[in-house]
Structure formats: C-alpha cells, structure tokens
Structure 1
Amino acid sequence: MKKDMSIIGVPMDLGQNRRGVDMGPSAMRYAGAIERLQRLQYNVSDLGDIPINRPDGKDDKRDGNLRNLQQVAEGNQALAEMVDQEIGKNRFPLIFGGDHSIAIGSLSGIAKHYKNLGVIWYDAHGDLNCGETSPSGNIHGMPLAVSLGIGHEKLTNMLHYQPKVKPENIVIVGARSLDPGERELIREKGIKVYTMHEIDRIGMTKVMQETIDYLQERTDGVHLSLDLDGLDPSEAPGVGTPVLGGLTYRESHLAMEMLAEADILTSAEFVEVNPILDDKNKTATVAVGLMGSLFGEKLK
C-alpha cells in the first residue's frame, strides 16, 4: 500500500433517516485514527470534511422513491472529484463516513483509475437496491447497485461514466440481511457473496483467502468498503441499521490482517459510525482498531 495517504471525511447523514452518522468522521478522528496511522509510518494528510448541503426540511422530498437525492448526489460528486485528484497525486485515499451512500462518490473517483477495480463490501447488507426495489427509499441501501450502473442517472453517471464496477469483481463479506430484489440481482449478476452462514461454516481464514485469491486473479486495484454494521451489534453498537448475528471483532481483525499481508488494497473507506447511538465512542474505537490491522499493525 502507498505510504502517502489522504484522509477525506464525508459527514453525510442524508442517505438514511437516523441523525448522528454525520458525526462519524469526527468520532473516528477523536478515537485516534490519524495518530495510529502516523505511528505505522504513513504520511497522512487530513483533508478535512466535505461540506454537505441540507434539504430545506419542509417535507420528505423524494425523486423516484429516493430520499434527499439532490443533496446526496451533490455530496458524492464533491467526494468523487476529491478522490480522483488524490489518486492522481499517487496517494492512498482513506474515506471516513458518514452513511454508506458515500461509496457512490468513492467508487466514482477511484474506478476512473483502474480497468478492473475490485471491491470488498464488508457489510451486513448488500446495498444493491434501487428506487424500484427499496422498501425505504434510503440511498445508503443502494451504492453497490449504483456502482453497477443500476439506479438514477444523477448517481450512476457521476463523473460521466458508468458502470464503475463489474459484478464479477465484487465480493460481499458478512451479509445477513438482503431484500428480495437484492437476492434476485445477486443471482442475476453472479455476484460473489459470503453470508454469515458460510463464514460460520468454513471460517474467516478460508473466506478471506478465497476473496484475496479471487480478486488477485481478475483486478488491477481493490477498494475495501467497510460498514461497521458488518460486525455484530454487541461489538459495534453505534450503527443505524444493526443486524444480530454479525462478525466478531476478532474475525474482523483477522480479515484486516490478511488484507494487509496480501497487500492488494489501493483505497478504503469506513462508514456508518453513529456516535449518538454508540456507547462511549466504542464503535469508532473499533473502526480505528481495524484500521490499525488493515494498515500493518502487528503484535510481533
């Protein structure tokens, strides 16, 4: 991994309807993310937070069942442009969310630089909905579909190209809550998914080794999109959409350590830390601990 790293905060809370996740970037900084990365000899440049415009609040404005479409699109456009610039400077982009809708901007800025970008989607959810299939209209449940070119053109055509990612270059790890439309899309596109059933059955070591081998064969860069709700709520309580029966802290550290050893990541993001729903900043602290393992921290 590149030692020159750019931190970009995206205080986005408009991709869903629970306030507080906009404080996620601050919570991770407060938990010592920058200092931890600097101790690992990364040259860290914290670029601060992207401004997010708020809706006027008069009513729940929707466009094709998409809540806050305009503001989510504007925030992601700004993120995409900044990520594009940082990769152009040969720097590793590390993005702090915010809700998971920010992956639309992340992947738009990143995928420009690769012919076959791989994506590890570490999450309880598939985030493969669109306006027609979403039960809620929350865009944080749509970023992976958007990156495949499925959804509203204000989102899919960001930076004037689509799709950002090919379905065969995606691996979802930790899934345990998939809507019917998402299951159908996974089958239709042949997306590789490791559900909690499979992780319990074959173990995290095998899951991550298979993931790494699979992506190394077919990609020229790999983005990690880590949603803290991938972990069990007992380990990461400060998330907006907790799902019981998730990944443990130890399994997640193992996964990050294996990614560090494989040295395949070219970008990463940590999302859905909500301090209002948290217990003494526990979830942000977990996120920063996982960053330590991902970026090379070792006990010996």
Structure 2
Amino acid sequence: MNKLNISIIGVPTDYGQTRRGVDMGPSAIRYAGIVERLEAIGHDVQDQGDIRVSQKLADGAVDEKLLNLEEVVDVSTALANSVHEVVEQKKFPLVFGGDHSIAIGTLAGLGEHYKNLGVIWYDAHADLNTPETTPSGNIHGMPLAVSIGLGHERLVQIRNYAPKIKPENVIIIGARSVDPGERELIRQQGIKVYTMHEIDRLGMTRVMEDALAYLKERNVDGLHLSLDLDGLDPLYTPGVGTPVPGGITYRESHLAMEMLQESGMVTSAEFVEVNPILDEKNTTANVAVALMGSLFGETLV
C-alpha cells in the first residue's frame, strides 16, 4: 500500500435536494472516526474542515426546474477551488457530503489537472438529468450531466471551462432508478452502466474487473470515485435521502473498494448523501467509514 497525503474537505450542504439533514453528513462521518481510521492504516491525513455554506437562501424567483441554483453555484465554486488547490499540492482530495450536487464542484476542481480523467459513479441513480428532463428540479440529480457539459450554463461553466469529464470515461455502478431522459442520454453519450441486473448476473468481481479494464483501455490518467451511500441497499444504509430497495450489498461494496485499492488507479474520492436525521445510530456514516477503510488499504491480516 502506498502512503498517501490525504486532504479531507467537508461540504455541509443540502441545497441540491429538499430533505433536510444531509448537511450534517460530514460531521457524522468524522464522528464515526474516519481520521483515526485512515491514520491507523498509515496515511497522512489533514482535515481542512468544511466549506463555508450560507444558511440563508438567495432572494428572487424560484426556478422549479433548478431549485436553489444560486446556493448550489456558490457551494460548487468554493469546493472546486479547494479541490483544485489540494491537487496542486499533490495531495489526495477526499470530499464528504452533503448531497450529491457537490460532485459538480469536485469534478470542476479535478478536471483541469487531468487530460483523460475516469469516473466511477457508485449510485442507485444516474444523476444525468437536465433542467429539461428533471422530474423534481433537484440539482443532486444533475451533477453527472453538468460535468459532461449539459445543463445550466452557470453550473457547467464553474471555473470557466467545460466539459469537466468525457462521457465515455464514466462508469455508473449500481443503477436501479433511472429516469426516461437519463436513459436517452446514456444511449446518446455512450456512458457505460452496470445496473443491478449486471451485478446480480455477473457478480461484483466481474463487474469491477471489466470496469477497471475498460478504463485502462481508455488510458485514463486519473480515477475519481463518487460514491453515493444510496448505491447500497437501504438495509445497510438507512440514512439516505432517496433510498431504493434492491441495492448493492455491504460485502459487495467492500469488495469493490478493495479492488479499486488494488488497482492503484484511484486519485480522488467523495462520499455523499449521509443524512443523520434519517439514520439509525449513525449506521450509514459507519458504513461510509468502513468502505473508506477498504478503499485506502485496510486489511484484516
């Protein structure tokens, strides 16, 4: 295992959706002992604290297709700048959400440093909606679309460039709730998806082997993991805002993290959608921390 210099960035925001509480996710993950766990593995860890998030909604008309746009733009811009600085310092950015809209900022901060960044999107949802296709107006359902250059200009152009990633370098793992507009976009953009059907039929080992081989063939020069805790079955992660039954198991998820660690390809990661208000005794945050342990090289012997 390579010793890493890890910089933790918390993003206490719930502006990307409408269920309160996910802004407390970074605190719950810290409370579950992530810093101590990563240090015990042997990594150097610097907790940079949280991005400052305004608690006051901006004045003005509400766009039902882009809820809390101003707030999401502000948070995403601040996060993008912080991630950019961490990568410039040759450190590993580890971002804690907050809802999944934070990926807009994470990828905006990463994209300038890579010519061919790969992304594994571990999630029950595709997060490929646009203002034209969204059924809810929640921006946490849009970050992947925004990052490939589709969506509202103010989101797409954070740090003044677009797209942040290439759609053919994205692999979605665990999808089981995909909206009609997202299905069409997946076909149009050539995005690789392993739904729960493929995971059940092939097994997680084969899925991860195929995904990593595909990214190696694409010659990616970095790999970002964006892990939404609702990618797992709600039996294991009850504290998420949009739970979908029939998800990835706890053990399958550990295996996926272990295989990512063994690949040596992962250069950044974010863990999102931990909502302590909906949780049971911090179970979901504890799962997040355990998965991070596997991703960063924790072993039993």
- TM value normalised by structure 1: 0.98
Q: Which amino acid aligns with 1:277?
A: L
Query: 2: distance between equivalents of 1:258 and 1:72?
Result: 33
Query: 1: distance between equivalents of 2:53 and 2:213?
Result: 38
Deviation at 1:62, TM superposition (A): 2.8
RMSD: 1.2
User: Which structure 2 residues correspond to residues 1-300 of structure 1 after superposition, within 5 A?
Assistant: 3-56=4-57, 61-63=61-63, 65-218=65-218, 219-300=220-301
Query: 2: distance between equivalents of 1:122 and 1:14?
Result: 21
Query: 1: distance between equivalents of 2:31 and 2:23?
Result: 14
- Per-residue deviation, residues 92-148 of structure 1 (Å, max 9, x unmatched): 000000000000000000111000000000000000001110011000000000001
Query: 2: distance between equivalents of 1:167 and 1:72?
Result: 22
Deviation >4 Å, runs of 4+: none
SS of residue paired to 1:201: helix
Query: 1: distance between equivalents of 2:87 and 2:280?
Result: 35
- Per-residue deviation, residues 256-284 of structure 1 (Å, max 9, x unmatched): 00001011000000000000000000000
Q: Is the 8 A contact 2:175 2:195 kept in 1?
A: yes
Deviation at 1:64, TM superposition (A): 6.6
Query: 2: distance between equivalents of 1:220 and 1:94?
Result: 18
The alignment covers a number of residue pairs equal to 299
Deviation at 1:164, TM superposition (A): 0.4
Query: 1: distance between equivalents of 2:274 and 2:280?
Result: 11
Aligned CA distance change for structure 1 residues 56 and 147 (closer, same or farther; 3 Å): closer
- TM value normalised by structure 2: 0.97
Q: 5+ unaligned residues in a row in structure 1: which ranges?
A: none
Q: Which amino acid aligns with 1:294?
A: L
Deviation at 1:2, TM superposition (A): 6.0
Deviation at 1:291, TM superposition (A): 0.2
Q: 5+ unaligned residues in a row in structure 2: which ranges?
A: none
Q: Which amino acid aligns with 1:197?
A: H
Query: 2: distance between equivalents of 1:297 and 1:162?
Result: 36
Deviation at 1:216, TM superposition (A): 1.7
- Per-residue deviation, residues 9-68 of structure 1 (Å, max 9, x unmatched): 000101000000000000000000010000011110000000112344888x53371000
Deviation at 1:217, TM superposition (A): 2.0
SS of residue paired to 1:118: strand
Q: Which amino acid aligns with 2:74?
A: E
